Chains A and B, each alone.
Chain A
């Protein structure tokens, strides 16, 4: 158990809908990262927040947004969902801002029908 929690574990929704994924980092970690994992694309970095502020951005679509709250938990919002958004979404956390030693959560499996 990494100490990172993600909810929900599974999510099934329809195209065009909007969903919110939630992540709680390990105690003491200030950075939260979001990744998308699909069969053909591997692990793709989406975005990083550090102590409430956006720190780094990866291949995150404009339809996706994230935020980190004062209690350091984070939410990833996915809107106008398409079939191709079906994937595993992982949250990770680390102590610092430098992307080292990341601890991953168990993931949320999203299926868009």
Chain B
């Protein structure tokens, strides 16, 4: 089955700096890659997703890049703000059985 590795597990940045979270996946047939943000005491919330026919997608301060050859994808947050502090999960969906597998999560702390 699919295996998704995510790093770093924790990340501290100064407010206004950029944050990058990286994930690798094992199944080359995976074709959908969502990113979720989980704030304390809440359920995960989809913040951006990308499909395998696209190399990059942007939404305001958030961008995701996908490298199918290397089987890795990354989340980029620019001009970080304290409200960006949360746990971020990457995930990958394999095309054949269409199950989403999540990474272990990255705890992002934005220091004011």
Interface residues of A (CB under 8 A from B): 2, 4, 42-45, 48, 56, 58, 90, 92, 97-107
Is B102 part of the contact surface with A, judged by Cβ < 8 Å? yes
Contact residue among A58, A97, A100 (Cβ-Cβ distance under 8 Å from B34): A100
Chain B residues within CB distance 8 Å of chain A: 32, 34, 36, 41-46, 49, 89, 93, 97-105
Q: Which residue of the partner chain B has the closest CB to A44?
A: B102
In the complex the two chains form, is A2's CB within 8 Å of B98's CB?
Answer: no
B56 to chain A, nearest CB (A): 19
Cβ contacts under 8 Å, B32 to chain A: 98-100
Which residues does chain A contribute within 8 Å of B89, judged by CB atoms? 42-43
Shortest beta-carbon contacts, A-B, top 4: A104-B43, A43-B102, A42-B104, A99-B100
Q: Chain A binding site: helix, strand, loop or mixed by DSSP? A: loop
Q: Are A56 and B45 in contact (CB under 8 A)?
A: no
Contact check, B98 vs A99: say whether CB atoms are below 8 A apart: yes
Q: How far is the CB of B74 from chain A (nearest CB, A)?
A: 19
Additional A-B contacts beyond A48-B99, A106-B43 (11; CB < 8 A): A2-B45, A42-B89, A42-B104, A43-B105, A44-B102, A56-B98, A101-B34, A101-B46, A103-B46, A106-B42, A107-B43
A2 and B100 within 8 A (CB): no
Q: Which single member of A45, A56, A101, A105 contacts B43 (CB below 8 Å)?
A: A105
Contact A43 B44 (CB under 8 A): yes
Q: A43-B89, A100-B32 are in contact. Are A58 and B43 (CB under 8 A)?
A: no
Return 14 A-B CB contacts under 8 Å, by A number. A4-B43, A42-B103, A43-B44, A45-B100, A45-B101, A45-B102, A48-B99, A56-B97, A90-B43, A98-B98, A100-B32, A100-B49, A100-B93, A104-B45
